[in-house]
């Protein structure tokens, strides 16, 4: 039995554009191409796609994934690594639960004492939070549209220590809050203060990959178009994704074009 590229995209959640890219780089060629030019996949191809998606979950780059598949590495070894990372994620969630619990306790203590709210260590508010998906290189979008940039980002991330990652997480969250403050205050996106914040955002992105004007605008549009990314901004303030997108467009036109 064979499935069309549209059917595989529907089943797997992988876009047809990504499947075509996997074919172009030799990672997942279709079983055959019909006279209509459409790609068709058989069961073995679906199993290979499952392995690809698993290794993407492990943050492997496309070149690394192809190397693993071509070398026929024991699947159990891959699953063991996946299990290790799941345990790490469980530990992160436990840390996040402690963060929220500590904040609740401090707020309740201030309320009981009829005192002004006072957080003993503000940096603890952000312990355990992940960077926003978009600021974490906009993984899915970068993988699909700029695979070379994604590979560069992966290499940069490998050099980061746990302390580096934790500090970066706090910076990302604090920056989103600053953008929200500008938006709520009605500050135009072209205002120098907003553009200075965008410049800091761009420099942060450049730690991982260096987008040109079109790519940076595309990243901003992804913040708005992708429900997963937009939801992350909406946690801070409704409309924040659109505001930051517009600020990024202004920056790209003025500084990157």
Tell whether pTM > 0.85. Answer: no
39 and 64 part of one domain? yes
Q: What is the pLDDT of residues 65-89, one digit of tens each?
A: 887 777 755 666 666 766 776 777 7
Same domain membership, residue 120 and residue 51: no
Last residue of a domain, one of 71, 99, 114: 71
CA distance 229 to 214: 19
Q: Is 58 exposed, middle or buried, given 0-12, 13-18 or 19+ CB atoms closer than 10 A?
A: middle
234 and 218 fall within a common domain: yes
Token pair of 22 as six digits: 């996997």
Phi then psi for 223, rounded to 5 degrees?
Answer: -55, -35
pLDDT of the residue at 1: 85
Give the CATH number, domain containing residue 204. 1.10.490.50
Q: What's the total number of domains in the chain?
A: 3
- Same-domain status, 237 and 135: yes
Same domain, 56 and 108: no
12 and 108 in a single domain? The answer is: no
The residue ranges of the chain whose pLDDT is under 70 are 58-59, 72-79, 81-82, 85, 103, 106, 110-160, 162
Q: Which residues constitute the domain of residue 200?
A: 129-256
Is 64 in the same domain as 104?
no
Q: Give the Å distances, CA to CA, from 98 to 72, 91, 102, 128.
A: 41, 11, 6, 9
pLDDT of 74: 66
203 and 242 both lie in a single domain: yes
Q: 111: how many CB neighbours lie within 10 A of its CB?
A: 10
Contact criterion met (CB below 8 Å) for 171 and 225: no
Tell me: do 160 and 88 sit in the same domain.
no
Measure CA 3 to chain center: 30
Domain shared by 146 and 231, yes or no: yes
The pLDDT score that the predictor gives to residue 135 is: 45
- Same domain, residue pair 45 and 98: no
């Amino acid at each position: 039995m064979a499935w069309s590229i549209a059917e595989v995209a529907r089943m797997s959640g992988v876009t047809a554009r990504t499947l075509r890219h996997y074919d172009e780089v030799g990672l997942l060629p279709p079983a055959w191409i019909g006279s209509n030019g459409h790609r068709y996949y058989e069961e073995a191809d679906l199993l290979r796609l499952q392995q690809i998606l698993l290794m993407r979950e492990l943050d492997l780059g496309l070149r690394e994934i192809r190397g693993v598949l071509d070398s026929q590495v024991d699947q159990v070894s891959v699953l063991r690594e996946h299990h290790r990372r799941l345990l790490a994620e469980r530990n992160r969630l436990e840390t996040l639960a402690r963060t929220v619990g500590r904040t609740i306790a401090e707020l309740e203590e201030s309320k009981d004492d009829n005192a002004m709210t006072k957080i003993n260590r503000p940096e603890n508010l952000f312990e355990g939070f992940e960077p926003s998906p978009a600021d974490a290189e906009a993984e899915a979008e970068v993988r699909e549209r700029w695979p070379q940039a994604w590979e560069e980002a992966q290499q940069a991330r490998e050099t980061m220590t746990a302390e580096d990652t934790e500090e970066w997480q706090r910076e990302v969250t604090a920056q989103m809050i600053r953008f929200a403050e500008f938006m709520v205050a009605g500050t135009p996106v072209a205002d120098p203060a907003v553009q200075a914040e965008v410049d800091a955002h761009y420099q942060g992105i450049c730690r991982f990959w260096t987008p040109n004007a079109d790519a940076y605008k595309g990243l901003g549009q992804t913040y708005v178009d992708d429900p997963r990314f937009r939801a992350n901004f909406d946690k801070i303030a409704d409309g924040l994704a659109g505001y930051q997108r517009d600020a990024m467009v202004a920056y790209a036109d003025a500084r990157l074009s």
